[in-house]
Structures are given as structure tokens and as C-alpha cells.
Amino acid sequence: MMAHKFINEIGPGETIDDIYMVKEPVLRSTTRGDFYIAMFLCDRSGRLNGRMWQATETAYKSLPKPGFVHIQGRSELYQNNLQIIVNNISVVDASKVCIEDFLARTDKDTKQMFKEVKEIVGRIKNPHLKTLVGEFLTDGELMEKFCKCPAAMKMHHDCLGGLLEHTHNMLRIAVAVLPFYPKVQVDLVLAGIFLHDIGKTEELSYDMAFSYTDSGQLIGHVVKGLLMVNKKSDALAAKGTTIDESVLDALGHIILSHHGEYEFGSPKLPATAEAFMVYYIDDLDAKISQVTAAIDNELGDSNWTAWKNALQTRLYRKRIEE
């Protein structure tokens, strides 16, 4: 199979014969009354306007909104903007598509990261937490999602595998930092980190693009995570293994409070040393990742990035002499 021609690699006057995602197709008529379809053609590198002239209403109706399509056509400049003139368009099943062409993917090795995650949470000794975490690890379908899900829609780790990468980072930091705080309970911190964002697997959808599920928007990953922990605990109880209520509450509290402030959607503020630990490690990894990515992704050679609203500053990226 031929390599995908990325949107940001297309120049004017090229022949196009590849799969793209079509978004927001609309049927319009020209001043002469002919129909044409205007659309966006996208992949993870960007998007272009597409125009299909002499289109029919049937052709329009057949298009997914959004979805994958095979495009044959040609690129051209129109008023100094590149666009694609579409001659043929046909729907492509998502299973035939290399999803990495359309969604960014972590550049780390997910198998290796997941192996390390399992190794670290494998150190948990408390039998209740050990059993509960085991119930998650042996849920193959969920772990597959866990390894594939992004950590966020934007801001940080917004890529396939981002949730795994973020969780992996946090666990490694916890392992490095916990020895300096001997009074903080290791098992709760490790289990809390492993599960703090597990609700993202139900909050986010990432088949063609990153988006929120309806349920995700109505309930949110913070509470969804707690619900998933309770379901696993109920499933264990049905199999005869009872997870202690106070362990469940202490773990649940970490999940509920890990955003650290009410205004970020935590219904509870951290009230245990372990909850504070998870909150700060989460924030540290998220912000440092966001900042270094923003510095990397900035175009041009200015010493300063554009204004970053979430950080309320521009970022300075000139390095000291090395």
C-alpha cells in the first residue's frame, strides 16, 4: 500500500488519488443553477477546501458527514489558497483506513509503556487495591482502549496513546518522588494514578477524530472513573471478593479530587496526602508536556510563542548557551 499523501505536503497542480476525511460537505448551486459540493478534506496534518463541480443531490447524500472517502482529483490555487478539485469521490470503510494518518499518535512505544505501567502497579501490596487494579488489568477490551485513548481533546497528550503516555509518566514520577515522602501511602498513590483518568476511555471518542461522547459530556471523566471503579468492585463482590469500603472511598476520593479545584470540575478538593500527590503529579506532567509541546510546535524563529490563553502568557523559547 502506497504511503499517504499528507495534506500539508500537497503543492499546487498535483494529481490527487488518496483517502481523506471529508468534513461538513454542503450542496450549493452556482449562479447558473448548477449544483456543486463544497467540503473540507482533512487528515492529521491539516485540511483544504474541496470542490466537486457538476455534483448531484444523490452524490451529496451518499457522503458521510464526516467520514472517510477516496478522492481522485487535482490541486489548484484559487485566490492564492490551495484547493482540491474533486473528480471522483467514493466512501471508504473505516476498517480499511490507517487511522494514524488521521489522528496523531504518541511517538513512544505503547507496548513498552504499558508493560512498565503493569510492572509499576504490580508493586501494590494492599490486597484490596491489588485485587481491584488486577480486575482492570485483566479487562482486555478496556486495556486496549486505555492504550489507545488520548489524554485530552487538546492541551496535552492529545494523541492516540496519550492517556497511556501521561499515566506512564505520572507513575514513573511517583516512583521517583515517593521515597522522599515516607508518610504518603504508596499503594493508594499508584492505584490512584493508574485509574485517575480511566473515565477518559468513556468520555472521549477517537475513531475518526477526537471528540466527546454524549455521555462523556453529560457525566464527565472524573465521575465516570469513579463509576467504573464501583462497577469493578461490584463485579468482584459478585464473584465473592469484597473490596473494603474505606479503601474504595479513599481511592474514589483521589479520582474525584484530582483536578484540585472546583472550577476544573472536581466535586471534591483533595483531603488526603495521597490525593494531593496525585493532583500535583498530574498537573506537573500535564503542564510541562503542554509547555514543551507549545514551544516545539511554534512556527517561525521568534523568541516568543503566540499568546497561550490557558497559561495567560506567551512562552519564551530561547535556550541559554549550551
Judged by beta carbon, residue 70 or residue 172, the one nearer a second copy is 172
Judged by beta carbon, residue 148 or residue 221, the one nearer a second copy is 221
Closest to 227 measured CA to CA, from 239, 219, 218, 217: 219
Site for a second copy in 136-175 (CB under 8 A): 169, 172-173
Q: How far is the CB of 19 from a second copy (least distance, A)?
A: 25
Judged by beta carbon, residue 101 or residue 135, the one nearer a second copy is 135
The reply to whether 107 sits near a second copy by the rule CB under 8 A is no
Report d(CA 234, CA 315) in Å as an integer: 47
Site for a second copy in 111-130 (CB under 8 A): 126, 128-129
Helices (H) and strands (E) in the chain, counts: 11, 7
Judged by beta carbon, residue 93 or residue 180, the one nearer a second copy is 180
Q: DSSP per residue over 30-87, as a string?
A: -TTS-EEEEEEEEETTEEEEEEESS--HHHHHHS-SSEEEEEEEEEEEETTEEEEEEE
171: cell is: 507513575
- The number of residues that bind a second copy (CB under 8 A) is 86
The reply to whether 99 sits near a second copy by the rule CB under 8 A is no
Closest to 27 measured CA to CA, from 50, 54, 60, 51: 60
The residue from 237, 288, 306, 310 that contacts a second copy (CB under 8 A) is 288
Judged by beta carbon, residue 164 or residue 222, the one nearer a second copy is 222
The reply to whether 222 sits near a second copy by the rule CB under 8 A is yes
The reply to whether 34 sits near a second copy by the rule CB under 8 A is no
Closest to 194 measured CA to CA, from 257, 258, 121: 121
Binding segment for a second copy (CB under 8 A), chosen from 88-96, 116-124, 148-156, 179-187, is 179-187
